[in-house]
Amino acid sequence: MEIMQFRLVTTARGQSSNCPLQTIKQNTDFDLVLTVRDLRPPGTFTYNGKPKALPRGVFAAYCFVQFPPEIPIVGIVPHSSFQEGLLVQNVGSSMIKCGAFSRNLIGLAGEVSMFRFQCRTQSIYDPTVYLNFGVEISGIERPMYAPLVYGLSPDVIREQNLPASELGAVKDEEVRIVPATLKVTQ
């Protein structure tokens, strides 16, 4: 079962990740936005005889973002909700290791932007080029940089007979990754 999602989306500079950019002209600025989402459905549990909503939202997310080597990154802007444990590190010419954990006490519902990578296309010689951007989570040091969703204590999970996905730890096979492709034209 997938619990958490990393998604990359290309947008015009400063635009929402809800407005994806599919095609762009060469020598144009654009943003690559890394978003995260808790994929678990809503639910409730009983605490002191009263129903309570199960906690939802991404608490921590760390990954490698892969870029085409010909794309310069001119800026990296983390989302204001993800400022703690901030990590941004170049790993070669086409990969950035990045992540953070939330400063909020409760999770943010829905998809949340983590980072905005400010990029610029270069001059190209072919009429059309497709740029592929990816996310990789294998190789991220655990437990220090483990992906986490908001969860409950092991005692509550045992008492309520809830699934292990309510603990908060996320295994690699429980992560959905959605890469991005951008078409660049002359």
Q: Which domains does the chain have, with CATH numbers?
A: 4-185 (2.60.40.680)
Tell me the whole-structure pTM to 2 decimals: 0.91
pLDDT score, position 109: 67
Condensed to tens digits (0 to 9), the pLDDT of residues 52-81 reads: 999 999 999 999 999 998 888 989 999 888
Q: What is the average pLDDT across 7-35?
A: 94
Q: What are phi and psi of 110, to 5 degrees?
A: 80, -165
Bridge partners for 99 per DSSP: 62, 87
Query: pLDDT (tens digit, 9 = 90+) per residue, 27-58?
Result: 999 999 999 999 999 989 888 899 999 999 99
**How does residue 119 score in pLDDT terms, banded at 50, 70 and 90?**
very high
> H or E stretch including 155?
helix 154-160
Half-sphere exposure of residue 152: CA atoms within 13 angstroms, side-chain side: 22
| Res 40: pLDDT | 93
H/E element, 157: helix 154-160
105 has a pLDDT exceeding 80: no
Q: What's the rounded Cα separation, in Å, for the pair 186 and 82?
A: 37
Higher pLDDT, 176 or 167: 176
